Amino acid sequence: MNPGYQIVVCASIVPDPLQTLEPMAGPQGPALKNEMMLPAVLDPWAGHALFEAARLAKNAPGSKVCLVSLAPKAKLQQVMMTVAQKVPFELVALDGPAGGFTEAAEVAAALAAAIQAIPGLDPSRLLLFGGWESASRGAGATMQIVGELLGITEQFQGVDELTIGADGSLRILERIEGGRHQVSVCSAPPAMLGWATGNLPEPRNNPQVGMANMRTIMPALQKAKLAPAGAAGVTFAGVALPKQQRETRLVRDTPAGEIAREIVEWIRG
């Protein structure tokens, strides 16, 4: 009988993408202008991982979901007030930078140490979830490194679907080139899944779930350990928004084929 899974979701917070993000050179290195004043949200990629973890835990009795997050404690608390109403989980908080100018290796080391310190962690039941990419830490390597530090060799990236077989095996759909999926089968945990979009909508707010979560979230935030993950030894020549290039020419009575040819030549040039 399957005793359930221990699902650990690695997720951070990012500035609301609807805001204007302007990079600047700060005293500690590159940063976003007025970063602490920007409203924050849960990283969308990691959000898919959290919702998929909650569904799996609901369908596999005895399962438990832990959310491990490295972010400034004050901003994380604000985001958790909303996220806590979505799905049940236990929070493991690390107080550190959440910006995009951090090294994946340093972030991964802090996350792996926090996961290893989870009481009663059973590697034979462990499923490590996270975003395939990130809205801030878009290196695409953080989850892979976390898995390696935890000794997880079964890793799957770009996951859109996870199905549990009758024998307890994991059937996983991974994105590959050409808009197709690769079907992989993992006999049993431990495994690391970097989620793409999944196929679940964002759950509705449930105040009862929120109140139950907040009983553990507030103590977790108070006990959050400092995790000064940064980019030691890395220097940035400069940070700036991508430059926009616009070349406009007004013409009349030009065939569509000629316009297309000119556009292709301009792109190639």
How far, in Å, CA of 209 to CA of 6, rounded?
19
Residue-averaged pLDDT of the chain: 83
* Residue 178: predicted pLDDT: 77
pLDDT (tens digit, 9 = 90+) per residue, 31-86?
676 677 777 888 888 888 999 999 999 988 889 999 999 888 888 888 888 888 98
257 is written with which tokens?
Answer: 């084929």
2 band by pLDDT with thresholds 50, 70 and 90: low
* Residue 191: predicted pLDDT: 92
Of 44, 63, 78, nearest to 4 by C-alpha is: 63
Q: Check whether 29 has a pLDDT greater than 80.
A: no
* Residue 13: predicted pLDDT: 84
* Residue 53: predicted pLDDT: 92
Other residues' Cβ atoms within 10 Å of the Cβ of residue 127: 24
pLDDT (tens digit, 9 = 90+) per residue, 180-222?
888 989 988 899 998 887 777 778 888 888 898 888 888 888 8
Helix residue spans in the chain (DSSP H): 44-59, 73-83, 104-116, 142-149, 207-222, 256-268
pLDDT (tens digit, 9 = 90+) per residue, 141-176?
888 988 999 999 999 988 888 998 888 889 998 888
Q: Which domains, ranges and CATH numbers included, belong to the chain? A: 6-226 (3.40.50.620)
Q: State how far Cα 199 lies from the chain centre.
A: 16
